Structure 1
Amino acid sequence: MAERLSAETRKSALAELPGWSETPGREAIGRTFTFRDFNEAFGFMSRAALVAEKSDHHPEWKNVYKTVDVVLATHDAGGVTRLDIDLAKAMNAIARQLGVT
Structure 2
Amino acid sequence: MSKLSSQDIEKRLLRFPDWEYFDNAIHAEFEFENFKDCFSAMSRIAFECEALNHHPNWSNVYNVLTISLSTHDVDGVTEKDFNLAEAIEAIVEPIDE
Q: TM-score of the superposition, structure 2-length normalised?
A: 0.94
Give unpaired runs (5+ residues) of structure 2.
Answer: none
SS in 2 for 1:36: coil
- Offset at residue 98 of structure 1 (A): 9.1
- Offset at residue 18 of structure 1 (A): 2.0
Which of residues 71, 76, 83 in structure 2 aligns to 1:86? 83
- Seq. identity, %: 38
The 5-angstrom pairing of residues 29-44 of structure 1 reads 29-44=26-41
Structure-2 change in CA distance of 1:34 and 1:98 (3 Å) = farther
Corresponding residue for 2:3? 4
SS in 2 for 1:86: helix
Q: Distance in 2 between matches of 1:44 and 1:80?
A: 23
The residue type paired with residue 8 of structure 1 is Q
Give unpaired runs (5+ residues) of structure 1.
Answer: none
Which of residues 33, 58, 63 in structure 2 aligns to 1:61? 58
Q: Distance in 2 between matches of 1:95 and 1:39?
A: 13
Q: TM-score of the superposition, structure 1-length normalised?
A: 0.90
Corresponding residue for 2:44? 47
Q: Distance in 2 between matches of 1:63 and 1:10?
A: 25
